[in-house]
Structure 1
Amino acid sequence: MIPESLATFYALLALVAPGLMFQVVSERSRPSSEQSAFREVSVVATSSLIFTTTSVLILGAFSRIRPSWFVDLPKWVSDGSVYASNNLWLVAKSVGLEVGIAVGLAALAAWILGKRSTASKAPIAKTSVWYQALKADKPEDKASWVLAELLDGTRVWGYVHYFTIEDCGNDRDISFKGPGLTVQRGGKKSRPVREDYYKYFVVSAGQVRFLKVAHEKKKS
Structure 2
Amino acid sequence: MVPDTRLSILLFAVLVAPGLLFDLLSERRRAAYSESAFREASRVVLSSVILSGVSVVAVLWIGSLKKGWLPDTRKLLEGNKRYYLDHARELLILLTLEVALAFLLAWFANMGLAQMSRKAKIREPLSRALTGGGSIRATSNWYRAFRQECPSGHDPYVTIRLRPDGPTYFGKVAYYTADMKAEGRELVLRQPIQVKSAKDKKYCPLSSDYQRIVIRADAIDVIYITYRKKNTQSADKPHRSKAKTGRQVEAPPAVGEAARK
Q: TM over 0.5: same fold?
A: yes
- What is aligned with 2:90? 90
- Structure 1 residue 127 corresponds to structure 2 residue 168: no
CA distance in structure 2 between the aligned counterparts of 1:113 and 1:46, rounded to whole angstroms: 17
Q: How does 1:110-189 map to 2 (within 5 A)?
A: 110-116=110-116, 117=118, 118-119=120-121, 120=124, 123-139=135-151, 141-151=153-163, 152=165, 154-179=167-192, 181-187=193-199
| Ranges in structure 2 where 5+ consecutive residues have no aligned partner | 128-133, 233-261
- What is aligned with 2:243? none
SS of the counterpart of 1:68? Answer: coil
- What is aligned with 1:46? 46
SS of the counterpart of 1:67? Answer: coil
CA distance in structure 2 between the aligned counterparts of 1:170 and 1:64, rounded to whole angstroms: 55
SS of the counterpart of 2:27? Answer: helix
Which segment is superposed worse, 163-172 or 66-75?
163-172
More helix by share: 1
CA distance in structure 2 between the aligned counterparts of 1:5 and 1:169, rounded to whole angstroms: 43
Cα pair 1:26 1:111 within 8 Å, conserved: no
Cα pair 2:32 2:180 within 8 Å, conserved: no
- Report deviation, 1:144: 1.4
Q: Deviations over 1:118-176 (max 9, x none)?
A: 43378532122112212333356432111112331632211113323324425333232
Count of residue pairs brought into register by the alignment: 215
Q: Deviations over 1:94-140 (max 9, x none)?
A: 11111111121112101221232243378532122112212333356
Change (3 A) 1:93 1:212: same
Select the residue among 224, 229, 232 that pairs with 1:217. 229
Change (3 A) 1:199 1:93: closer
| Ranges in structure 1 where 5+ consecutive residues have no aligned partner | none
Cα RMSD of the aligned pairs, angstroms, is: 2.5
- What is aligned with 2:203? 192
- Report deviation, 1:79: 5.1
Cα pair 1:30 1:136 within 8 Å, conserved: no
Change (3 A) 1:94 1:175: closer
SS of the counterpart of 2:16? Answer: helix
- What is aligned with 1:65? 65
Change (3 A) 1:200 1:89: closer
CA distance in structure 1 between the aligned counterparts of 2:179 and 2:32, rounded to whole angstroms: 9
Cα pair 2:154 2:230 within 8 Å, conserved: yes
SS of the counterpart of 1:216? Answer: strand
Q: Deviations over 1:13-43 (max 9, x none)?
A: 1101110111121112223221211011101
SS of the counterpart of 1:190? Answer: coil
TM-score by length of 2: 0.73
Q: Which amino acid in 1 is paired with 2:156?
A: S
- What is aligned with 2:21? 21
Change (3 A) 1:158 1:97: same
CA distance in structure 2 between the aligned counterparts of 1:22 and 1:139, rounded to whole angstroms: 26
* Moved >4 Å (runs of 4+): 4-8
- Report deviation, 1:8: 4.5
Pick 1 or 2: higher relative contact order, CA cutoff 8 A, min separation 6. 1
CA distance in structure 1 between the aligned counterparts of 2:172 and 2:38, rounded to whole angstroms: 40
Q: Which amino acid in 1 is paired with 2:21?
A: M
